[in-house]
Structure 1
Amino acid sequence: MEKPIDKAAITINRLQEREKEQMLIMSICTALSRALNKKEFESIVSGILKNNFQFDDFILASSDESKKEYFIFHSTDKNIDVKSYAINDGFFDECINSADVVSFDLSNLNYPDYLQNIYKKGSKNAFGIGLPYIEGNRNVLFLFFKNVKTFSRESNRVLRGISMQFSITLRNIMLTQQNENTLAELEILKKKISGKKQEKNTPKNENFHGIIGTSNAMKDVYELISQVASSNSTVLILGETGTGKELAANAIHNLSEVSDQKMIKVNCASIPENLIESELFGHEKGAFTGATEQRIGKFEQAENSTIFLDEIGELPLELQGKLLRVLQEKEIERVGGSKSIKVNARVIAATNKILEKEVYGERFRSDLYYRLNVYPIKLPALRDRKEDIPILGHFFLEKHAAKMNRTVKRFSKKVLNSMMVNAWPGNVRELENMVERSILFAKDEKIKEMIFPEIVIASSDALVNEFYTKTLQEVEKEHILKVIKKCNGRISGPQGAAVLLGLPSTTLSSRMKKLGIKKEHFLD
């Protein structure tokens, strides 16, 4: 009489176990149904799935049915490379062609390379299940165990019970990503359309994305910037110090397709040689003394954006080869690391040096120069666009007067004329500094005096740089103007400029006429 009782107890026990399994399946499916992005999915994997299946590693692989490759949608092993794998690798294809859970002995299997780390960590067995087909996607779930006994028959049944919800959740996440990408693209397009409308409505005498000037020389620069901005080409900005190279880089980025991302800026001249490689490419923990943690370099920070390398002519020779590799191969290696990392960053470089001269002097690699010089933009010196000086002067006057809470509103005619004839070796930056200084000394709403540094006016040697050497006529004109101003505008007589210059007054007048010096140049 005991046997029927035992059978009934066994049957009840089995029914209770199956009921628990069904409850677990419903619980997992409910959690999966709420996951709409990868972050929420990862939380479920590390939570309810990990607790119930007790796996050591987890991989969810996916493939579009129209392709012959698959990719890793999610893995608990973060060292897996982001790339595609052939479907017929004896691993993925065996699972999608089987109606049941497939077991793999990793020690006897010629497995794909992404399983090497998992195998090295001690997982000897893997179980894979081809998830139900849905919306054109073919998906496989892999669970890895160090101890094969951890995966029970109950685990098998639960895994098959949640397989359809896995496929649905994966499809939902992919659709969410597509919608987010579409919205991001629409937002970028909206900003571009808005920017173009604003640009059309902006008066011609206002700035071009932060750059002031309406001269023909600057209009040519604006056209070059507009032409290259929408591409991904490398740009080399050339120009003397103070001509606005960083402003030009900003304009290119702001008009590009990645304008919604932050532009990463690096001044190659301001970073010590022993740190610049780590600054650009990052370093691994323990790569050198003081490297207590992993650091992401500027190129990785500029992923899907723009990196601006200012003063590129100051980059050490030994690093120029590594930069060349980045430009050609689009990949970097962190200091102390052995793994190549793909980077997608648009490079804009700038320098005030003549790189051809640096190449000739073997201070700059010729191959790097040719790789950078894809699309050169040369910014004109201020002396080559003198018609912009009054516009710039009044712009800086308004800007700094407001900052200082001063009521200075304009320049005297004498000061404007002096600004027009000055050589401005420091270009726009020098002009801005001079205007700011003059506001401080102004006694009313008009700037009547602008004191130029003696070295700028008196010494032609100070005005010689790599981009420009003054002519004798320019030096002579400035010297005569200085002497006439010192004599309060007198040309002849005992206290006139002719006496100080050692010339007859008639000869001085003749020279002034030839050099184009008029009374308004030295009289208010």
Structure 2
Amino acid sequence: MFGKYFILKNYSHSIKAISYIYVLPHKIVRFMENPKDQAAVMRNRLQEREREQLQILSICKALSEALTRKDFHNVITGLKQHFLFEDFILASAEEGQKDYHIFYQFTSPQEFSKVYPINDGFFHLCIETPETVVFELKTVPEKKNRLPVYLDSVHNKGFKNGIGVCLPEIKGSLNVLFLVFKNAAVFSRESNRTIRGMASQLSITIRNIKLATAFERNWEELQLLKNNLSERKSQNIAVENQGFHGIIGNSDAMKKVYELISQAAPSESTVLIFGETGTGKELIANAIHKLSLVANEKMIKVNCASIPENLIESELFGHEKGAFTGASDLRIGKFEQAHNGTIFLDEIGEMPLELQGKLLRVLQEKEIERIGGKNTIKINVRIIAATNRFLEKEVAEGRFRSDLYYRLNVFPIALPALRERVEDIEVLAGFFLERHSIKIGKKMKGFSKKALKSMTLNAWPGNVRELENRIERAILFANEEIIKEMAFPETFRIETQNPESDLYTKTLQEVEKEYILKVVKKCGGRISGPQGAAVLLGLPGTTLISRMQKLGIKKEHFLS
């Protein structure tokens, strides 16, 4: 009696040899196909393989010519029709590192700064085996919150199947290709052979793009440095009346400051600017940024004194959605916004003590964590800080961390008070007269000798900011084209017969408190309005009230 078994092996659309097996009572005899049919099958196979090889060569040629992310994206767009993928993701890590990053994602082809641990259950599985790894995302609903962001995004779109392929290592760079499909069945053996055939060129192309990008960045930095050096040579630190990058003054004291700016700007070192209030610390920070290698990037400014203590951490480092009550959206902090640029932390001495430790970590580790976040975010930021406090005294009295102070004080720049650069007062006065005359709409020609002399004899506790406000006020009240007199509070008039007055032995806060009290008392306790102290001080009413609260000035102090 005969028995017949038909065996058909279908390797994804290509039919392999068909065999018939006849079973006899005592032996098995195998009859092969007709030799002509067998030759036809083999010929078809060879033709298919030849087409595959030509296709691989064509893809590799296109990849070899891609030197930018845009070129690479165009090549991958052309491959989508062939492989029928929903997403094409390339993950990359350098040898010896514990983290990897996404080099490219088809559905989101921008640069990524986020990093992931290599042993996250996806990347390391691929690099530990030469075989293709199949991921069934639909089987891990409980694991969804632990999915990397790039896989979580495709999972949310309903793409349930993915494969991972380890690409050949190139110069210590480990790369993994993830392909995501609606249905993994579309990834055939032919597709797998094509991926394997182009794998080496993929790794080479990734390295080429990284090198080309680094070259372009270095070239831009060199050109910027060259331009900055040329600009400095032309200036030759001989500053004319138009100023040094927006800073007015040509005194010896300011020339020393300009030299320090020129030395600090090209480096990446942290700069600490200190000086009395109103000396122009923000202008110095602007000049350093403009002359730096990251002048074309953002400069983010933060006034640490103007942000409430309960919000400053979120303002600096950001927060995740739902991190606390009221956090309805993801917030990107100032440090992330300043990535690859500069962040200016004004009034750093006002930063709460508990937040100083987190800032120290940012300075040392170059990474942050958003409030409510689980992952660290690498940042590359040039930090410039400023304060009008004596930080050494703050450290001694326990209000400022010593380790943070020493980390900030890498390149200190001390700004002279206006009374220490008297020769600049006339130049500054002329500059502010021209600026505010245009703004106010009055035609002013200058100052009388009496007005200029009174300005040079004044102590200017508010420094350049006070000078500007006084000149603006003088223009408003002027009835002629020449400002003949400048009015100053008696408290700050320098007595020429006793220049070493007790005024200069007081702390800045004591002087400021005493000054504000006398002005408020002179105005009969009125803060705002036309006859209020805020007008005389050249400040908004809300700012004056805030400053009085900080200095501990209460109603009974000036209404008694």
Q: TM-score, normalised by structure 2?
A: 0.66
Residues 397-476 of structure 1: matches in 2 within 5 Å? 397-453=433-489, 456-457=492-493, 466-467=507-508
Q: 1:38 aligns with which of 54, 57, 69?
A: 69
Identity over aligned pairs, percent: 54
CA distance in 2, matches of 1:16, 1:144: 27
Cα deviations across residues 75-130 of structure 1 (Å, max 9, x unaligned)?
A: 55979727999xxx8964865xxxxxx345899xxxxxxx9859998979644453
Q: 1:116 to 1:204 in 2, by over 3 A?
A: same
Work out whether 1:59 is the aligned partner of 2:104.
Answer: no
In the TM superposition, what is the alpha-carbon distance from 1:300 to its structure 2 partner?
Answer: 1.9
Match in the other structure for 2:307: 271
The 10-residue stretch of structure 1 (315-324 or 161-170) with the greater mean CA deviation from structure 2: 161-170
**Partners in 1 of 2:113 and 2:290 — Cα distance?**
35
Q: Do residues 81 (structure 1) and 106 (structure 2) align?
A: no
Contact 2:113/2:377, CA 8 A, preserved across alignment: no
User: How far apart are the structure 2 equivalents of 1:415 and 1:130?
Assistant: 78
SS at structure 1 position matched to 2:272: strand
Contact kept, 8 Å, 1:55 with 1:143, in 2: the verdict is no
Contact 1:225 1:251 in 2 (8 A): yes
Equivalent position of 2:168 in the other structure: 130
Deviation (angstroms), 1:166: 3.2
Change (3 A) 1:124 1:35: closer
Structure 1 residues 194, 22: closer, same or farther in 2, change over 3 A? same
1:20-64 superposed Cα distances (whole Å, 9 cap, x missing partner): 86797588567646744225535655774487264877435587x
Q: Which moved more, 1:117-126 or 1:385-394?
A: 117-126
Question: What amino acid is aligned across from residue 322 of structure 2 in structure 1?
Answer: G
Q: Which residue of 1 aligns with 2:353?
A: 317
1:80–1:12 CA distance, 2 compared to 1 (3 A): farther
Asked if the contact 1:439/1:447 (under 8 Å) is kept, the reply is yes
The CA deviation at 1:16 is 8.8
Q: Which moved more, 1:422-431 or 1:355-364?
A: 355-364
1:236 aligned partner? 272
- Deviation, 1:198, is 3.4
The answer to whether the 8 A contact 2:126-2:164 is kept is no
CA distance in 2, matches of 1:399, 1:12: 87
Q: Aligned in 2, Cα 1:296/1:437: closer, same or farther, shift over 3 Å?
A: same
- 2:19 is matched with none
Counterpart amino acid of 1:380?
Answer: P
Between 454-463 and 175-184, the greater mean CA deviation after superposition: 454-463
Structure 1 residues 27 and 52: CA distance shift in structure 2, 3 A: farther
For 1:201 and 1:278, the matched residues in 2 are separated by 41
Question: What is the CA distance between 1:275 and its match in structure 2?
Answer: 1.1
Shift of residue 455, structure 1, vs aligned partner: 5.6
**Which AA in structure 2 matches 1:345?**
V
Q: CA deviation at 1:265?
A: 0.8
**C-alpha distance in 1, partners of 2:332/2:504?**
42
2:480 aligned partner, one-letter code: D
Q: Is the 8 A contact 2:241 2:250 kept in 1?
A: yes
What SS does structure 2 have at the residue aligned with 1:264?
A: strand
Read off the aligned partner of 2:323 and give its amino acid letter: A
Contact kept? 2:425, 2:455, Cα under 8 Å: yes
Residue equivalent to 1:374: 410
Paired residues in the alignment total 448
- 1:425 alignment partner, SS class: coil
Of 220, 223, 229, the match for 2:259: 223
Match of residue 525 from structure 2: none
User: Does the CA contact (< 8 Å) of 1:307 and 1:345 recur in 2?
Assistant: yes
- The answer on whether the counterparts of 1:353 and 1:466 sit within 8 Å (CA) in structure 2 is no
Q: State how far apart, in whole Å, the 2-side matches of 1:223 and 1:437 are.
A: 34
The answer to whether the Cα contact below 8 Å between 1:28 and 1:49 also exists between their aligned partners in 2 is no
Residue of structure 2 equivalent to 1:262: 298
Give 3-state SS (helix, strand or coil) of 1:303's partner: coil
Asked if structure 2 preserves the Cα contact closer than 8 Å seen for 1:106 and 1:119, the reply is no
CA drift at 1:382: 1.2
**Residue type matched to 1:81 in 2?**
V
**1:455-509: CA deviation from partner (whole Å, max 9, x where unpaired):** 6459999988624989xxxx9xxxxxxxxxxxxxxxxxxxxxxxxxxxxxxxxxx
Return the match for 1:248 from 284, 292, 302: 284
Name the CA shift for 1:164/1:423 in 2 (closer, same or farther; >3 Å): closer
Instruction: Give the equivalent residue in structure 2 for 1:517.
Output: none
Partner SS for 1:130: coil
User: Is it true that 1:384 corresponds to 2:436 in the alignment?
Assistant: no
RMSD between superposed Cα atoms in Å: 4.4
Could you tell me how far 1:216 is from its partner in structure 2?
2.4
Q: Please state how far the C-alpha of 1:338 moved relative to its aligned partner.
A: 2.3
CA distance in 2, matches of 1:57, 1:38: 14
Q: How does 1:93-172 map to 2 (within 5 A)?
A: 95=130, 102-104=131-133, 117=148, 126-130=164-168, 141-143=176-178, 151-163=187-199, 166=202, 169-170=205-206, 172=208
Q: 2: distance between equivalents of 1:362 and 1:164?
A: 59
Partner letter of residue 286 of structure 2?
Answer: N
Equivalent in 170, 176, 191 of residue 212 of structure 2: 176
How far apart are residue 185 of structure 1 and its match?
A: 2.2
Of the three residues 290, 293, 297, the one matched with 2:333 is: 297
**Helix, strand or coil at the partner of 1:236:** strand
TM superposition shift of 1:315: 0.9
SS in 1 for 2:260: helix
Deviation at 1:4, TM superposition (A): 9.1
Cα distance in 2 for residues equivalent to 1:91 and 1:367:
43
Higher mean alpha-carbon deviation, 159-168 vs 387-396, is at 159-168
